[in-house]
Structure 1
Amino acid sequence: MALPDEIAQAIGIQGLGNAASVLSRPADEFGNDASLEAAWAVKASEHADVYFNIICSVDPKLLRLTPHDDEIYKRFREQFPELPVQKLTTDQIKNEEAKKEWRAFCNSFEGKVEDFSFATLLRLDSGDEYSQDNTEVVPRVQFYAVELARNREGHNDSVKLKFKPQPRAKAVG
């Protein structure tokens, strides 16, 4: 996975600025714009870095990810009671049946959870860090649902023992 500063350098400050100015517009307005895709990748990677540093630093059971955590978690466990969030496979969250179920779940938070559909990086194995083999791109509210379950059910507790927070890369300027 390319680092945020590598992506930013590749498309330049102007490209980042242009892409960032339109990130809040509906995705169906765009084709395959490389600078926009790079800006999404930077934003998702930065979010992953910040989140992982947080769970390396504090007790995950104490974290609040959104003002709607209780509702997201409750509805997640009602709809996916047996999903083993400790260690997921791509197939469990991205096969055709799972995509339909997740789409309905995620869309139910449209207008309620800010940036509910933003592309977000999810670790497949809760006991490991982000890496190319341990990362999947999912909608933001799906990330929230899985991570809330991991935090509340104790699956992220080992992260703090295994990993130390890492300094964030300096912004390209």
Structure 2
Amino acid sequence: MDVLTRPAEEFGNDETLEHLWAARAMEHSDIYFNVLCSVDTRWLRLTPHDDLIYTHFKQDFPDLNVSLIKENEIKNSVNKVKWRMYCEKFKNIVEDYSFGTLLRADTTGDYSEQNTILVPRVQFYAIEIARNREGLNNEVKKKYKCASKANMEAQRQSEIAA
């Protein structure tokens, strides 16, 4: 994984690097989903900068419905520029602020191909901090509370095999 910290100019369009990025993003999503299934998310802190991220998010995107994110809305030409400006505020504050991170579009679902959007890490933090503070992610815990890690792993292995 050390290769992921090297300058992008060294790689061009290296397929191996793309697979490493995807693997790291998947690992992050697995860990985060397990956390959501385990705790009361209203008290969950994702970074030491949650308050700052949340304050700026609410100022810059006061009307964004965080329970259901529509990719075409957050990535249209107008909002793409707004999000880029938002993310740049955290360039020197949040580690890996622009790292590609998987975000669930709908808070009632898990990570799946249909329910996942690739976003910069700080955009993930902004939306997930809002979801946590508003209690929206606690529905995941209720819906998936009976799924043991062993069952989740077995399901994931069967999806990989398919």
TM-score (norm 1): 0.83
**Equivalences for residues 70-149 of structure 1 within 5 A:** 70-149=51-130
Match of residue 40 from structure 2: 59
Q: Look up the equivalent residue of 1:120 and give its one-letter code.
A: T
Q: In 2, are the aligned partners of 1:53 and 1:165 still within 8 Å (CA)?
A: no
Q: Look up the equivalent residue of 1:166 and give its one-letter code.
A: K
Structure 2 residue runs of 5 or longer lacking an equivalent are 154-162
Aligned equivalents of 2:76 and 2:7: distance in 1? 25
Aligned equivalents of 2:111 and 2:47: distance in 1? 22
Aligned equivalents of 1:152 and 1:165: distance in 2? 25
**Distance change >3 Å, CA 165–CA 109, structure 1 → 2:** farther
Q: What is the SS of the residue equivalent to 1:23?
A: helix
The CA deviation at 1:90 is: 0.7
Structure 1 residue runs of 5 or longer lacking an equivalent are 1-19
The CA deviation at 1:96 is: 1.1
Q: Look up the equivalent residue of 2:132 and give its one-letter code.
A: N
User: How many residues matched?
Assistant: 150
The CA deviation at 1:92 is: 1.5
Q: Is 1:166 aligned to residue 131 of structure 2?
A: no
Across the aligned residues of Structure 1 and Structure 2, the Cα RMSD in angstroms comes to 1.4
Q: In 2, are the aligned partners of 1:61 and 1:154 still within 8 Å (CA)?
A: yes
TM-score (norm 2): 0.88
**Distance change >3 Å, CA 165–CA 27, structure 1 → 2:** farther
Aligned equivalents of 2:60 and 2:132: distance in 1? 18
Q: What is the SS of the residue equivalent to 2:139?
A: helix
Identity between Structure 1 and Structure 2 (%) = 54
Q: Look up the equivalent residue of 1:85 and give its one-letter code.
A: V
Q: Look up the equivalent residue of 1:75 and give its one-letter code.
A: H
**Distance change >3 Å, CA 124–CA 116, structure 1 → 2:** same
